[in-house]
A and B are shown apart, each in its own frame.
Chain A
């Protein structure tokens, strides 16, 4: 079945009159600040995430160094160590990983589903500005001695309010993205034909809608409590962070990584140059991974046997869909017998391998009795779980950077630098593994309280390896940033719309895509790979 279902003689007539933009477009700063164009909003998310999130990773390196000799090294004074520890954890997730993923999704998803805009464009813009303001306020709250464990009551209140704003903004973005996939797909693009990245973003967004409001509700509760004397037994402002720490634990942390699967599946299918034979299975696996990442029940402290069983089952089950998607990628390559290797493929491979490490560790850690529970601590305070969180976050960041590289001609003005772009995912993967495996070892051998007095935790010798891993990850991020610099300048030659021989609709849009995304009307889509249909028809 071909992609076009209308006689060829209508093509020329229709293509002659590409619709112009409905309104005069503003230029300069107004075009950026007041834009409802999903591509501009996505770019804003990406740039702001890199500017705000990457410095936070410097804290990770400093905590890694602190862990060399926790007894003697005092990288941070004891007054601020706990606050900076919480900034590292919260910042990595909400200032870097979430906005990076959202930024790439904002640019790519409407293009992939053949939509001319994102659903609720003004809400999408509001989500960025809300997130940006919330992030600035979050950092400001630490500057005035706020945040969890802070000495300033106003600073603590500001931290809670800023977190609430960030969560609300992420939710708004999730609603826009999910609605775009569910209701704005072009004609013929049924859900089962939806490109796998767009599908994974829809699943992730729906899971964010199901889980992040629980965090939002808790933040409101904590704000009211803290404003009125702190009656809840949280242990003062320092207790705010542990009450929210469930979002960093598996299975909940996996909600961040669902798009990793869609990105990898999309890239491998395209790079192999063939239709994906296991597409239905891969699509189902992405959905299952989203479902097993539901961890909002962890928000309510419970010793109930059913809850414990749920943690075990979800923890072990999560690795299966990841392996299925990895198998689907391998099958696509095996089926076609070829693979156009490049930075995108390297990022996709690195992202999914990192996620395999994270979910495999999650499965092992979920088996009862494998991990020692330190006296006076809860099982989730074992440093093993910190390793899982780091693995998943690194996987998400790899996929997001890979997405920017793969869709560079849609995200930026031109393609990314390929040579440095090949090194970056390798460094990120190696660094990610070196950074996380020692935490797994520390957790299993029993020296694994995540937050000791110095907030370093783990075996001192293993922490040296962790710090080396963080440094390699930082190098990888630097390499990625360098490889993405060409996106900022206009290339001399015309950028091709479809540099990879793509199979999904985003490659029909010019590079960079104009307002309205596509020139002319799109035909009725007749398969999951409409551009392959087109080539076959030719």
Chain B
């Protein structure tokens, strides 16, 4: 009898430890946060350097109106509520509420993309400038991760409601929600560092 066979026993009870998808998503969320932290840190350092030398940060003729950014921030905060609602509804096996919550979350995500796009048309910031490179990279990168978060949330909701997970096993949607909240945190920093303090 091999050692493996000697150790062969009936399966033990499932371990009480974090789930695979949740852990993987948490790591991906950390990676996302660190990527933005690095670029925003460089943005702040560059801006501080320019201002400390008596220069102006934004090129002449460029302005970043506060309203679209503020609305986008408020929308992101609202989406936190609807995402929480989606997770809760799946937990209660309330399918209509879960679909409605997901639809609202998606709509809020699209509204944020729309607000940032509108901001692009308003601020008249050339990309071939130091602030332009930073701001378009940061906000464009955020739009990309937001789209990824929306796709992730949609897939996980449909998989959950489609039967792959059930009400008490909503790991997929909880993981998607975690990534969504990480995106909200990123946008909060962008909103303050770029749109508010400019």
A264 to chain B, nearest CB (A): 25
Counting CB contacts under 8 A, is A51 at the interface? no
Contacts of B93 in A (CB 8 A): none
Contact code string B38-64 (vs A, CB < 8 Å = 1, else 0): 110110011000000000000000000
* Contact of B5 with A217 in the complex, beta carbons under 8 Å: no
Q: Which of B1-57 contact A (CB under 8 A)?
A: 1-13, 15, 17-20, 22-24, 27-28, 30-32, 34-39, 41-42, 45-46
A residues in contact with B151, CB < 8 Å: none
Q: Which residues of B have CB within 8 Å of A228?
A: 127-128, 132-133
Q: Which residue of B lies closest to A221 (CB)?
A: B137
Known contacts A175-B27, A301-B45, A521-B9; A216 and B4 CB within 8 A of each other? no
Residues of B within 8 A of A310 (CB): none
Asked whether any CB of chain B lies closer than 8 Å to the CB of A411, the reply is: no
Q: Which residues of A contact B27 (CB under 8 A)?
A: 174-175, 178-179, 206, 209
Name the interface residues of A298-328: CB closer than 8 Å to any CB of B: 299-302
B129 beta carbon closer than 8 Å to chain A: yes
For A341, what are the chain B residues with a Cβ–Cβ distance below 8 Å?
Answer: none
> With A187-B15, A520-B8 in contact, do A213 and B128 touch (Cβ < 8 Å)?
no
Please indicate the chain B residues that have their CB under 8 angstroms from the CB of A522 in the complex: 7-9
B134 interfacial contact with A, CB 8 Å:
yes
Q: Give B116-175 interface residues, CB cut-off 8 Å to A.
A: 127-130, 132-134, 136-137, 140-141
B143 to chain A, nearest CB (A): 13
Chain A residues 490-517 with CB under 8 Å of chain B are 497-498, 507-510
Q: How large is the interface on A (under 10, 10 to 19, 20 to 34, 35 or more residues)?
A: 35 or more
- A520 near B130 with CB under 8 A, answer no
CA of A219 to CA of B46, assembled, Å: 16
Contact across chains for A183 and B9 when beta carbons are under 8 A apart: no
Q: Is the CB of A510 within 8 A of B127?
A: no
A216 to B38, CA, bound (A): 9
B24, B127, B136: which contacts A175 (Cβ < 8 A)? Answer: B24
Contact partners of B34 in chain A: CB under 8 A:
209-211, 213-214, 217, 296
Q: Distance (Å) between the CB of B96 and the closest chain A CB?
A: 32
B56 vs chain A, min Cβ distance (A): 15
Interface check A331, CB cutoff 8 A? no
The total number of A-B Cβ pairs within 8 Å is 167
Q: Which of A229-251 contact B (CB under 8 A)?
A: 229, 231-233
A13 to B141, CA, bound (A): 56
* Bound CA–CA A507/B7 (angstroms): 12
Shortest CB-to-CB span from B114 to chain A, Å, is 22
**Is the C-beta of A153 less than 8 angstroms from some C-beta in chain B?**
no
> Considering the chains assembled together, what is the distance between the CA atoms of A300 and B24 in angstroms?
28
Given contacts A225-B133, A228-B128, A498-B3, contact A217 B36 (CB under 8 A): yes
Compute how far the CA of A12 lies from the CA of B9 in the bound complex, rounded to whole angstroms.
9
Residues of chain B within 8 A of A523, CB atoms compared = 7-9, 12
Q: How many whole Å from A10's CB to the nearest CB in chain B?
A: 6
Pick the contact of A213 from B13, B35, B140 — CB < 8 Å? Answer: B35
- Of the candidates A209, A300, A520, the one having the most CB atoms from chain B within 10 angstroms of its own CB is A300
- A519/B133 in contact, CB under 8 A: no
Please state if A300 and B42 are interface contacts (CB–CB under 8 Å): yes
B129 touches A120 (CB 8 A): no
A183-B19 Cα distance, complex, nearest whole Å = 6
Residues of chain A contacted by B2 (CB below 8 angstroms): 497, 510, 519
| A324 → chain B closest CB, angstroms | 27
Residues in B with CB closer than 8 Å to A182 are: 17-18, 23
B18 engages A521 (CB within 8 Å) = no
| Complexed CA–CA distance, A213 and B40 (Å) | 13
Are A214 and B4 closer than 8 Å at their CB atoms? no
Q: Given A231-B129, A508-B4, A510-B4 in contact, is the A209-B31 Cβ separation under 8 Å?
A: yes
Q: Apart from A183-B18, A217-B35, A508-B7, what 4 extra A-B contacts exist at CB < 8 Å?
A: A185-B17, A214-B34, A217-B38, A520-B5
Interfacial residues, chain A to chain B (CB-CB below 8 A): 3-6, 10-12, 14-15, 18, 119-120, 123, 171, 174-176, 178-179, 182-185, 187-188, 206, 209-218, 220-221, 224-225, 228-229, 231-233, 296, 299-302, 497-498, 507-510, 518-524, 530-531, 534
7 contacts between A and B (CB under 8 A): A185-B17, A224-B127, A224-B137, A228-B133, A232-B130, A299-B42, A508-B4
5 closest Cβ contacts across the A-B interface?
A520-B8, A214-B38, A15-B5, A213-B35, A15-B8
